[in-house]
Amino acid sequence: MKPAPFDYYAPASVEEACQLLADAGGGATVLAGGQTLMPLLALRMSQPFVLVDITRIRALRGVSRSGATTRIGPVTRQNEALADATLQQHQPLLVTALRHVGHHQTRNRGTVGGSIALGEPAAELPATAVALGASVEVRSVRGTRTIPAQELYFGPYATALEPDELLTAVDVPEWPAGTVSLFREIAMRPGDFALVGLTGALTVADGVVTRAGVAWFGMGPTPIKARQLEAALVGQRVDALDAGALTELAIADTAPFDDLHATAEYRRTVGRRVFAAALGEALNLRKAA
């Protein structure tokens, strides 16, 4: 099939892009990497009147540091981010998650902001943004606002972004020394969306967990923050953790579902094992360090 007719614009600035979105009155779609959008257009599952291609806006590309925050431009290609020295040094969990996004070929076109803005429930980057306490900056002709990642997602592909708003930055706070990463993903094939995925970070100081951020993907209609697990971990001594009790708390906030690939019960069962394995691996790495 071929896409339905649309008007195409390639603005050179954020201001121009925001004006185009405003003028479209809700009928515009933003093109960044296009790895999801282009198939939807071809199948006519998405039929915008206006396509706003933001890939030529240089201000929306690249990685920078401001204090203890890493800022990622939304049209930064996933492979560019994967190779970025700043991310490798300051955001190791994000780099790990990027390695599992799609395939090398799709990462050459796919963007960090595109994945986070789309909100695929089984994708790595939205859940990692939630786990790390990231936020997104969005702009429109009405102004600029900041949305915490954990408040961004309402349902599958449903976000807090208004039709006239453009995601202009992803801000990820740096976690302190003593932080270890948690990441595990179960998929049918490498590059597929996860059937079950866990991502997060733990900060340990003097043998005590002082900070925890954990989120699931593929375990509900949105990336899911493991709030009960986080609350139970903070303040606990590492050598006194009750793995069995923590495993049940780890999946307590999830909302798995049946689909063509797996049942909800399968996801719960595998989720328990994924968490136990990820926690054990992270704590063993910390001891080795």
In a domain, 81, yes or no: yes
* Residue 49 within any structural domain of the chain: yes
- Within-domain flag for 271: yes
Residues 27 and 68 in one domain: no
pLDDT above 90 for 284: no
Q: Which of 146, 173, 200 is the last residue of a domain?
A: 173
Does the residue 1 lie in any domain?
no
**β-pair partners for 111:** 77
pLDDT grade for 36, boundaries at 50, 70 and 90: confident
We report the CATH number of the domain holding residue 26 as 3.30.43.10
Q: Residue 152 sits in a domain of what CATH number?
A: 3.30.465.10
**Do residues 125 and 114 touch, judged by C-beta distance below 8 A?**
no
Looking at the domain assignment, is residue 2 inside a domain? no
Cβ atoms of 237 and 203 closer than 8 Å = no
- For 144-179, b/e burial (b = at least 16 CB within 10 A) is eeebebbebbeeeeebebeebbbbbbbbbeebeeeb
**CA torsion angle for 85, 87, 93, 97 (degrees, to 10)?**
-90
pLDDT at position 281 is 87
Q: Give the angle subtended at the CA of 80 by the CAs of 78 and 83, to the nearest 5°.
A: 110
Whole-number mean pLDDT of the chain?
94
Beta bridge partners of 225: 215
**pLDDT for the residue 253:** 97
Residue 289, pLDDT > 80, answer no
Taking the model in full, what pTM does it have?
0.95
pLDDT on residue 153? 98
106-154: pLDDT as tens digits: 999 999 999 999 999 999 999 999 999 999 999 999 999 999 999 999 9
| Residues 155, 165, 93, 65, Cα dihedral to 10° | -160
Share above pLDDT 70 across residues of the chain, in percent, rounded to a whole number = 98
Are residue 264 and residue 184 in the same domain, yes or no?
Answer: yes
pLDDT of residue 81: 97
DSSP codes of every residue in 213-280 = EEEEESSSSS-EE-HHHHHHHTT-BGGG--HHHHHHHHTTT------SS--HHHHHHHHHHHHHHHHH
Is residue 287 very low, low, confident or very high in pLDDT (cuts 50, 70, 90)? low
Residues 64-101 pLDDT 10s? 999 999 999 999 999 999 999 999 999 999 999 999 99
Q: Could you report the per-residue pLDDT of 203-213, keeping only the tens digit for each?
A: 999 999 999 99
Q: What is the mean pLDDT of residues 39-61?
A: 90
